[in-house]
Amino acid sequence: MKEQIIVETHVHICEPRYDVDRDEMLKRSFESGVKKLINIGADIEENKKVADFDRDGIYKSIGLHPHYIDKFNEDVFNEIKGYIVNKKNIVAVGEIGLDYFKSPSSKENQILIFKKFLSVAKEYNLPVVIHSRDAHDDVYNILKEYNLEKKGVIHCFTGNFETAQKFIDIGYLIGIGGVITFPNAAILKDTVRKLPLEFMVLETDAPWLAPQQYRGKRNEPAYLKYIIEKIAEIKNISVDEVIINTTKNAEKIFNI
């Protein structure tokens, strides 16, 4: 049987926590079948590194996470936009979004900056990688209003099926990560049970959010297998079926 490629749609490869063993970490990823990865930039420093990190199989998403928008100004915006416009293998704008649980910035300011990056995605016809925490209604309404050509991924989704349904109804995919392996993730498990595979992509959010098997430790893309196994178990389907479908979705949305 043909070997299946797994796509990791959300990993912070340039995080300093990988400075000691980044090449080995990526080797383990490729050996585990995770051969296409979306490397995410969330703050100014990380974007700089992601923009210049060129490797086979590694694609870039550049943006500004709501946790870091206290550093936002026009210079920062132009710098980040410059990477999006000028660097190789940029496949998305993100991560961007709204976080009403924890952010140094007001709702109004978060919305303003979120919209600026959505405009960049629209201008350059790129999909978006969305962070949404305690802010699903506003994120939904804004994404609906912007009606991007390429849509994108609601990353690290942990909400209920009705909320997921709203996002897929306007063309977005749902990113499923390590939380699905946690024993107490009843709502997310119900969502995954009901959500057709055609609307799902896989992610670790590494180095954060390690699956149950490594909970509290540093995460890495090779651990996607635990997420895949859990989805297969919940949906009572084969691991291959999970991989084939989520890979197809990821390749299509990011054009990789």
Answer for the pair 177, 156: CB distance below 8 angstroms, yes or no: yes
Burial of 10 (0-12, 13-18, 19+ CB in 10 A): buried
**CB of residue 1 to Zn ion, shortest distance in Å:** 33
The CB-of-247 to Zn ion minimum distance in angstroms stands at: 20
Residue sitting closest to Zn ion (CB): 205
Instruction: Look up residue 184 and give its two tokens.
Output: 């107490």
Nearer residue to Zn ion within complex by CB, 8 or 205:
205
153 vs 200 by CB, closer to Zn ion:
153
- Read off the tokens for 5: 């490629």
Separation between Cα atoms, residue 37 and residue 29, nearest integer Å: 9
Smallest distance from Zn ion to CB 2, Å:
31
Q: Cβ of residue 203: shortest distance to Zn ion, in angstroms?
A: 8
Q: Where are the alpha helices (DSSP H) in 18-160?
A: 22-31, 44-51, 74-86, 107-123, 136-146
- Compute the distance between CA of residue 199 and CA of residue 126 in angstroms, rounded to an integer: 18
* CA–CA distances in Å: residue 7 to residues 43, 75, 103, 216, 224: 23, 33, 29, 24, 9
Q: Of the two residues 9 and 105, which places its CB atom closer to Zn ion in the complex?
A: 9
Vertex 222: Cα angle to 211 and 171 (nearest 5): 75
Q: CB-hemisphere CA count at 13 Å for 16? A: 2
Query: How near is the Cβ of 208 to Zn ion at its closest, in Å?
Result: 7
Instruction: Between 206 and 222, name the residue whose CB sits nearer to Zn ion.
Output: 206
Q: What does the binding site for Zn ion look like in residue numbers (CB under 5 A)?
A: 205
Q: Where does residue 227 fall: left (phi above 0), alpha (psi -120 to 50 degrees), or beta otherwise?
A: alpha
Cβ 105 to Zn ion, closest distance in Å?
A: 17
Question: Whose Cβ is closer to Zn ion: residue 205's or residue 220's?
Answer: 205
Nearer to Zn ion, 43 or 205 (CB): 205
CB of 165 to Zn ion, least distance (A): 23
Q: 46: closest CA among 74, 16, 19, 75?
A: 16
Nearer to Zn ion, 99 or 205 (CB): 205
